[in-house]
Homo-oligomer: A and B are copies of this chain.
Amino acid sequence: MAPHDRPVIGFLTDFGLDGAAAICKGVMLSIAPDAQIVDISHSVGKYAIRDGAYLLWTALPWLPVGVHVAVVDPGVGTARRPIAVRTGRGDALVGPDNGLLMPAASRLGGIVEARLIENSAWTLRRSSATFHGRDIFAPVAGHLAAGGAFDDVGPAIDPTELVGLELPPAKVVNDQLGSEVVYVDSFGNLRLAGGAADLRAALVALEHADELLLELGRGGEARRATARWARTFGDVRQGELLLYEDSSGNLALAESGGNAAVRLGATTGTWVGIRRA
């Protein structure tokens, strides 16, 4: 990292709102006083690595190139490795080697270099076994933001040996597109895999306002609903379901003016099948 006037540090955790994230920020600012820290979220579901990975994947492309640190870390203090990776875009991503950083890294140009965090001059002297956010990840992010060389993180490791995590893909079978619910956002919108092109491949000659048949869940427990293919919420009536291409270019299912997750009883991992009504 070249030093910037105001280096940006993106910051995501499952720490909640009661002080742990602020402690990490205090550590970062002690090392990099001019950092511009952007809280991506600290309300990631506890231990929900995939939710955290999804949120980084949606958010980081829109943050300036910088140092980004993420901590959703059920394995804190065990053998799982603390890592930093350099992306094709020029970011440094810092966090646990549990897959959390992988989808975002891939979207930022891929991993061009990975290092094991081992520089004891960059981490806190007496590290706890339960708060590596404070003791390891925050100070490393601070040093990188302050202009420290990526080489100084620790020894290079093989990027292909990092713990992988892939967001679930869409599946097209015959005239149907299926996807797990990848993420439920704060509006209750169900974020799915695949984009408009995938849907058009499954459902030929698709036009806005076309009616679709949804099947939620699998087998005997599946529930049915109908939705319209639409550009945006206001294109259907209040209370109607719509399927749309979301702001990340993926399919998503919403209730106009309402909460689709509550209405459909869907959560992360629920299977959604989509075909013509």
Q: Which residues of A contact B (CB under 8 A)?
A: 4-6, 8, 10, 12, 15-20, 22-27, 29-30, 33-34, 36, 38-44, 46-47, 55, 58-59, 62-64, 74-78, 80, 128-131, 134-135, 185-187, 231-235, 244-247, 257, 259
Contact of A26 among B63, B77, B129 (CB under 8 A): B63
Q: Tell me whether B235 and A78 are in contact (CB under 8 A).
A: yes
Q: Tell me whether B233 and A55 are in contact (CB under 8 A).
A: no
Copies of this chain, complex-wide, total 3
The interface residues of chain B lying within 8 Å CB-to-CB of A41 are 17-19, 22
The interface residues of chain B lying within 8 Å CB-to-CB of A186 are 15-18, 20
Q: How far is the CB of A167 from chain B (nearest CB, A)?
A: 15
Closest 5 CB pairs of A and B: A16-B186, A77-B232, A131-B247, A26-B63, A78-B234
The interface residues of chain B lying within 8 Å CB-to-CB of A22 are 10, 38-41, 59, 63
Complex CA–CA separation, A43 to B186 (angstroms): 10
Q: How far is the CB of A204 from chain B (nearest CB, A)?
A: 23
Could you list 16 examples of A-B contacts with CB < 8 Å?
A: A8-B26, A8-B33, A16-B185, A17-B41, A19-B58, A22-B41, A24-B62, A26-B59, A29-B38, A30-B64, A33-B64, A77-B233, A78-B235, A129-B231, A129-B232, A130-B247
The interface residues of chain B lying within 8 Å CB-to-CB of A185 are 16, 18, 20
Return the chain B residue nearest A56 by Cβ: B19
Contact of A23 among B23, B25, B62, B74 (CB under 8 A): B62
The interface residues of chain B lying within 8 Å CB-to-CB of A20 are 185-186
Q: Tell me whether A55 and B128 are in contact (CB under 8 A).
A: no
